[in-house]
């Protein structure tokens, strides 16, 4: 049930772009994205809902392909503050309120 994220890790220079992918083998109702810095709690970035509604962050964008059960997070013109581990979280159809997080993508932005 756990979604699969790719890549597992990425290193960027400031100003470069990155894409993080999240895919599930099950039908998704929604996809969340969170960022966690070392030693801290995860922080909400964005929610994408089946049907196209999005809630979240102005400077980060994401897409949700309902047919392929995939979501991608787009980080453009990366800043040092973008460093951290990114997790997607998913709620599946017909599982009540079960929520599954992916294993994470470590993003490091260097000067």
Partner 1 sequence: NAGVTQTPKFRVLKTGQSMTLLCAQDMNHEYMYWYRQDPGMGLRLIHYSVGEGTTAKGEVPDGYNVSRLKKQNFLLGLESAAPSQTSVYFCASSPGTGGIDEQFFGPGTRLTVL
Binding site for partner 1 (CB under 8 A): 1-2, 29-30, 32, 34, 40-44, 47, 49, 55, 87, 89, 91, 96-104
| 3-class DSSP state of 111 | coil
Nearer to partner 1, 16 or 61 (CB): 61
**CA-closest candidate to residue 23, choices 52, 1, 40:** 1
Q: Smallest Cα–Cα separation from 92: which of 23, 26, 4?
A: 26
User: Which two tokens mark 51?
Assistant: 């049907």
Q: CB of 101: closest distance to partner 1 in angstroms?
A: 4
Report how far Cα 78 is from the mean position of its chain's Cα atoms. Answer: 15
Q: From the CB of 36, what's the least distance to partner 1, in Å?
A: 9
Q: Which 3 state secondary structure label does DSSP give 97? A: coil
Smallest gap from Cβ 83 to partner 1, in A, equals 18
Residue 30 C-beta: closest distance to partner 1, Å:
4
Which one, 15 or 37, has the nearer CB to partner 1? Answer: 37
């Amino acid at each position: 049930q756990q979604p699969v994220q790719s890549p597992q890790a990425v290193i960027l220079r400031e100003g470069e772009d990155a894409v993080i992918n999240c895919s599930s083998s099950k039908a998704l109702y929604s996809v969340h994205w969170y960022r966690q810095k070392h030693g801290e709690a995860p922080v909400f970035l964005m929610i994408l809902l089946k049907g196209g509604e999005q809630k979240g962050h102005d400077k980060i964008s994401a897409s949700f392909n309902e047919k392929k059960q995939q979501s991608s997070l787009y980080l453009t013109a990366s800043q040092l503050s973008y460093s951290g581990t990114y997790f997607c979280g998913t709620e599946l159809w017909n599982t009540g309120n079960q929520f599954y997080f992916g294993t994470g993508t470590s993003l490091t932005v260097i000067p």
